[in-house]
Amino acid sequence: MSRLVRLADRRAVVAGDGFTLVRESGAPLPDGDVIIPAADWIARGEALGGRSGRTGVWLGPAEDPAILKDRLAGLALVAVEFPKFTDGRGYSIGALLRRRYGWTGELRAIGEVLRDQLFYLARAGFDAFALAPGRDAEAAARAFEDFSIAYQDASDGRTPALADRAAAAREAKIVRTRKLLARIAAAHPDAAFASSLSAEDMVLTDLIARAGLPIRVFTLDTGRLHAETLGMIGEARARYGIEIEVMRPVAAEVEAHVAAHGAHAFYESLELRKACCFIRKVEPLNRALAGRSAWLTGQRRDQAVTRGALPEEETDTARGMAKFNPLADWSWEDVLAYAARFEVPLNPLHARGYPSIGCEPCTRAIRPGEDPRAGRWWWEQADKKECGLHEQPSAQSLESAA
Amino acid sequence: MYRYDAVDKLIVEERVDQFRDQTRRFLAGELSEDEFKPLRLQNGLYVQRHAPMLRVAIPYGMLSSDQLRVLARIARDYDRGYGHFTTRQNIQYNWIDLAQAPDILALLATVEMHAIQTSGNCIRNTTTDHLAGVAADERIDPRPYCELMRQWSTFNPEFAYLPRKFKVAFNGAAEDRAATGVHDLAFELRHDAAGEVVMDVSAGGGQGRTPRIGPVIKRDLPWREMLTYTEAVLRAYNRWGRRDNLYKARIKILVEAIGPERFAADVEAEWAHLKGGIAQISEDEFARIAACFAPPAYLPDDEAYADLAALRLAHRRFDAWLRRNVVAHKRPGYAAVTLSLKRTGPAPGDATDAEMDAAADLADRFSLGELRVSHHQNLILSDVARKDLFALWQAAEEAGLAEPNVGLVTDIIACPGGDFCALANARAIPIATAIQERFSPARQEEIGELAIKISGCINSCGHHHVGHIGVLGVDKNGEEWYQILVGGRSDSKVALGTILGRSIKFEDVPGMVERLVGVYLAHRTPGERFIDTAERIGVAPFKAAAYPEKAVAA
């Protein structure tokens, strides 16, 4: 019994095959399942009715698949021969059988069928592949994963990018992000992801957890977060079964700041607001990152004017480490679409008008049409609205982190 | 220019991964030479005389300065310090180490470039007018259509193993600067009576051993059906094109064998099933791509304009450069400028890494950071404000890129020829140099427009069939000989040249060109170019002058 690569629901399996290929027209048929020349089926199909085995047909590359147009009923499979792997006629035959003549059963490539043609064959509508003798079927089956998306329409049921760019772009972003995360994990086994528990960061957590990557996830509990936000820590642990480390500010520093400036100093001046951010967020972050070679964030370019040129990969020169923003080119719609598709738990505040969520006293809901960051430090200028996590900290602040 | 989104990036990145694995398997002996060959070809790697050549796609000739700097870096870090711009608006490197090819492709991907389908029996890089989007005589900017064709043809699964290579070209201007007449498939864009974009499609043109001008097989094709119609043409070719004889496998042979009318009817029958289907171009997708080619922020014409008359009088070479290398732009305050890669000495179309870097700097300073590659193997700065022309000229002179010879006898098109190519019968580059050395700047000016095109073999990469004077290298008992043709042209009045007679030796070629030029100068009427005279007087006087000893004997 020869071996066959089969493709079902885009999953490849290697299976045995019991069909006997009958090459010669008019040759006596063996018992069992056979693949006979298509012309023979046309000429004497009815006469085969009494056989016990199933019947498939094969077409040569010069044959016109139109001969099977009204004769497909009752066939177990249609095979197309590739006398040489460089002979591309069979791709058109496959496309015609699938799309012109409506063949939905097994479409098998036979002849010189090699691994590096499988991807194109599958797109041309083939779903069974009788590899040339001596080929490693398991290795070959990986070829179907060569490309995740395609530009043009073919016969594999995919929606092509040319027909729905938005969907293809969304898929491409997911695949590229997965690849980037795998690359980061391989190059930086000590990489850590600073999650704010926002929708972006839950999506990134989902991507990391699904791939089982050894990227440590931590969050910064500033002591002033919404209850809803804190609730996401438990949600994420329950959903993904991964540890989410919680970093907290140094209590004495917080107390000293409140004693000196009051509990709501952040409304008074940019300096005092930044001082608060430093104690509650930046310093704990520095502590979490100390000694590591890379960190990740969920920042996106279109979140804020301050992030318009955000790269996917940069060097955090002050901390002396690599910094990755894997969602840099994702839109808010991309984030929501991913969350819906993969059932990612989201902070309920998002649905209540909070696209960007920080500490409770410094975040408000936005009105329709407002900038997504309008609810952060809303009393400040748009170009100042960063907490300092993504700025290069001064030498002094680095020392205090150490 | 077109910028990649996540879709384009992912496709190119996954291609690099795929080819890296294929190369690894080949080097590990898991893939045979024969099995690897089409895979490497479709990634631009072509084994030449000395080393693998890598041909990098420059889609329809558009380059950013950052991309050109990466091309320079590849020349510097992976090759011998230069690259060769080709007659299909691509660039190729002659000394590539196969094991490094995946790294080069990965580097290209970082600047949204690739070498996909630049060789092999597949749909090749789409080409067009190097003045697309800026030409004063343009009806329709062809670049969005070229980009749609690029995407549709990239990894099209049905058409990756065609009988032979397949080249597509577009023209949207009054003057055809893309040699569309000699392409496997060509689209002429124009507006119909209702103002809609329609296309006249021709198929079966090509050069090579059987040069043909492609007949029109379809008129008034609605633009949204461009890809459905192309699919019908390619399916016909894929199924019925000859596969038994390499030399008869191009689509032109099929079209000629069954006749253009029958071919057109067969395509029409196939197209009936496809038109209006999923491959019809959507307004949204067209708009997304066309937005990439929106006009840049030009200065108002009066601010961009400058009166250069005094400078022209003071600097004769600037004046010559303005006349030869600078052409009109859609915007009166702007011009398109050719940086000539036809200096006497280096091979036509060659550029060193330093020259590429210099050209990229010039693009940043004077042309909004973009360049074009022409099929004439020159670089073009497409958006230069006229007030900057003198400063650009000075900087280009300094970089050695201001040879004022565009369209003149030294602006020669030549393939790499026998110096590099394993297919060549004869060298092409030294012939180009010998002709260039023969004509002084003053003499070139006196002669005016004259397109000399040189191919080292019948595959015609040097476009000799459509040169005003064509030179074709042939092999005679292991020796290099050359056939001479006269009367070819690649513009809107595309025509194939006529072979004058027996082939001649290497050292006789410059003298032959000199005699042919002499015929022209003796016969020309005021304002007449070489090709005009040749068409008016016919080939006979050129034949007579070409072989004087024969004339004496007669």
Whether A160 is covered by a domain: the verdict is no
Rg (alpha carbons) of chain A, rounded to whole number: 30
Burial A348-371 (b: 16+ CB within 10 A, else e): ebbeeebbbbbbbebbeebeeeee
The stretch A211-237 carries a mean pLDDT of 93
CB A12 within 8 A of CB A141: yes
A138-147, pLDDT tens digit by residue? 899 999 999 9
Which pLDDT score, from 0 to 100, does residue A368 have? 82
- Residues 187-216 on A with a CB inside 8 Å of B are none
Of A149, A153, A165, the CB nearest to B285: A165
The stretch B174-201 carries a mean pLDDT of 97
| Domain total of chain A | 2
B155 in A contact zone (CB under 8 Å): yes
The answer to whether A87 contacts B13, with C-beta atoms less than 8 Å apart, is no
Which pLDDT score, from 0 to 100, does residue B552 have? 47
B9 in A contact zone (CB under 8 Å): yes
Q: How far apart are alpha carbons B424 and B35 in whole angstroms? A: 25
Answer yes or no: same fold for B142-290 and B413-553: yes
The answer to whether B121 contacts A86, with C-beta atoms less than 8 Å apart, is yes
The stretch A326-337 carries a mean pLDDT of 95
Residue B536 has φ and ψ, to the nearest 5°, of -75, -45
Question: Strands B326-328 and B216-222: what pairing?
Answer: unpaired
The answer to whether A146 contacts B31, with C-beta atoms less than 8 Å apart, is no
The stretch B510-534 carries a mean pLDDT of 97
The answer to whether B238 contacts A92, with C-beta atoms less than 8 Å apart, is yes
Of B14, B157, B235, the CB nearest to A154: B157
Same domain, A128 and A231: no
The answer to whether A176 contacts B9, with C-beta atoms less than 8 Å apart, is yes
Which pLDDT score, from 0 to 100, does residue B554 have? 42
Residue B138 has φ and ψ, to the nearest 5°, of -80, 135
Q: How far apart are alpha carbons A149 and A161 in whole angstroms? A: 8
Same domain, A310 and A218: yes
B5 in A contact zone (CB under 8 Å): yes
Same domain, A206 and A138: no
Cβ partners under 8 Å of residue B104, min gap 6: B54, B74, B78, B96
Mean pLDDT of chain B: 96
Structural domain of residue A38, as residue ranges? Answer: 2-145
The answer to whether B18 contacts A172, with C-beta atoms less than 8 Å apart, is no
The answer to whether B5 contacts A165, with C-beta atoms less than 8 Å apart, is yes
* CATH code for the domain in which residue A306 is found: 3.40.50.620
Of B10, B152, B156, the CB nearest to A148: B10
The stretch A332-360 carries a mean pLDDT of 91
CB A373 within 8 A of CB A245: no
The answer to whether A151 contacts B22, with C-beta atoms less than 8 Å apart, is no
Which percentage of chain A shows pLDDT scores above 90? 67
A184-204, pLDDT tens digit by residue? 999 999 999 999 999 999 999
- Residues 266-305 on A with a CB inside 8 Å of B are none
Q: Which residues of B touch A169 (CB under 8 A)?
A: 5-7
Q: How far apart are alpha carbons A286 and A278 in whole angstroms? A: 10
- Residues 161-190 on A with a CB inside 8 Å of B are 161-163, 165, 168-169, 172-173, 175-176, 179
Question: Strands B326-328 and A106-111: what pairing?
Answer: unpaired
The stretch B178-188 carries a mean pLDDT of 97
Which pLDDT score, from 0 to 100, does residue B397 have? 97
Gap between the terminal Cα atoms of chain B: 60
A292-306, pLDDT tens digit by residue? 999 999 999 988 877
Q: Which of A136, A117, A118 is CA-nearest to residue A127?
A: A118
Same domain, A382 and A348: yes
Beta bridge partners of B198: B190, B222
Which pLDDT score, from 0 to 100, does residue A371 have? 82
Which pLDDT score, from 0 to 100, does residue B122 have? 98
Q: Which residues of A touch B18 (CB under 8 A)?
A: 146-147
The answer, yes or no, to whether residue A275 has pLDDT greater than 90, is no
Q: How far apart are alpha carbons A8 and B268 in whole angstroms? A: 35
With H, G, I as helix, E, B as strand and everything else as coil, classify residue A282: helix
Band the pLDDT of B422: cuts 50, 70, 90: confident
A124 in B contact zone (CB under 8 Å): yes
Same domain, A210 and A266: yes
Q: Which residues of B touch A91 (CB under 8 A)?
A: 157-161, 238
Residue of A362 and B324 predicted with greater confidence: B324
The stretch A235-243 carries a mean pLDDT of 93
Q: Which of A302, A294, A284, A242 is CA-nearest to residue A393?
A: A284
Side chain identity at residue B534, one-letter code: A
- Residues 40-69 on B with a CB inside 8 Å of A are none
The answer, yes or no, to whether residue B553 has pLDDT greater than 50, is no
Mean pLDDT of chain A: 90
The stretch A76-101 carries a mean pLDDT of 97
A391 in B contact zone (CB under 8 Å): no
- Architecture of the structural domain at B301-398: Alpha-Beta Complex (3.90)
Same domain, A259 and A134: no
* CATH code for the domain in which residue A17 is found: 3.20.20.70
B284 in A contact zone (CB under 8 Å): yes
User: What is the CATH superfamily name and number for domain B413-553?
Assistant: Sulfite Reductase Hemoprotein, domain 1 (3.30.413.10)
Mutate to test the interface with A, among B4, B12, B239 (most CBs of A within 10 A): B239
Which pLDDT score, from 0 to 100, does residue A1 have? 55
The answer, yes or no, to whether residue A247 has pLDDT greater than 60, is yes
Same domain, A50 and A180: no
- Residue A146's closest chain B neighbor by CA? B18
Question: pTM here?
Answer: 0.93
The answer to whether A173 contacts B158, with C-beta atoms less than 8 Å apart, is no
B326-382, pLDDT tens digit by residue? 999 999 999 999 999 999 889 999 999 999 999 999 999 999 999 999 999 999 999
Residue A272's H or E segment, with its range, is helix A270-277
**Catalytic (active-site) positions of A:** 387
CATH class label, B142-290? alpha beta
Band the pLDDT of A366: cuts 50, 70, 90: confident
Same domain, A189 and A308: yes
Which pLDDT score, from 0 to 100, does residue A395 have? 39
Q: Which residues of B touch A85 (CB under 8 A)?
A: 35, 161
The stretch A295-320 carries a mean pLDDT of 90
DSSP state, A363? B
Band the pLDDT of A402: cuts 50, 70, 90: very low
The answer, yes or no, to whether residue B412 has pLDDT greater than 50, is yes
Band the pLDDT of A401: cuts 50, 70, 90: very low
DSSP state, A260? H
B298-322, pLDDT tens digit by residue? 999 999 999 999 999 999 999 999 9
Q: How far apart are alpha carbons A95 and A113 in whole angstroms? A: 17
With H, G, I as helix, E, B as strand and everything else as coil, classify residue B193: coil
Same domain, A392 and A243: yes
Which percentage of chain B shows pLDDT scores above 90? 96
The answer, yes or no, to whether residue B440 has pLDDT greater than 60, is yes
The stretch B468-472 carries a mean pLDDT of 97
Q: Tell me the two tokens of residue B178.
A: 């893309």
Which pLDDT score, from 0 to 100, does residue A392 have? 58
Q: Tell me the two tokens of residue A301.
A: 């370019």
The answer to whether A88 contacts B238, with C-beta atoms less than 8 Å apart, is yes
For the ranges A77-91, A122-136, B72-86, B538-552, the lowest mean pLDDT is seen at B538-552
B148 in A contact zone (CB under 8 Å): yes
- Enumerate the domain spans of chain B: 6-110, 142-290, 301-398, 413-553
Q: Which residues of B touch A141 (CB under 8 A)?
A: none
Distance from CA of B109 to the nearest CA of A (A): 13
Question: Strands A128-129 and A106-111: what pairing?
Answer: parallel
Q: Which residues of A touch B235 (CB under 8 A)?
A: 92, 95
Residue A345 CA: distances (Å) to CA of A242, B74, B390: 14, 47, 63
Whether A290 is covered by a domain: the verdict is yes
- Architecture of the structural domain at B6-110: Alpha-Beta Complex (3.90)
The answer to whether A147 contacts B227, with C-beta atoms less than 8 Å apart, is no
CB A15 within 8 A of CB A34: no
ipTM: 0.94
Q: Which of B455, B431, B436 is CA-nearest to residue B447?
A: B436
Please classify residue B62 by burial: count the beta carbons closer than 10 Å to its beta carbon, then call 0-12 exposed, 13-18 middle and 19+ buried. Answer: buried
Which pLDDT score, from 0 to 100, does residue A268 have? 77
Whether A190 is covered by a domain: the verdict is yes
Chain centroid, CA A239 distance in Å: 19
Chain centroid, CA A380 distance in Å: 37
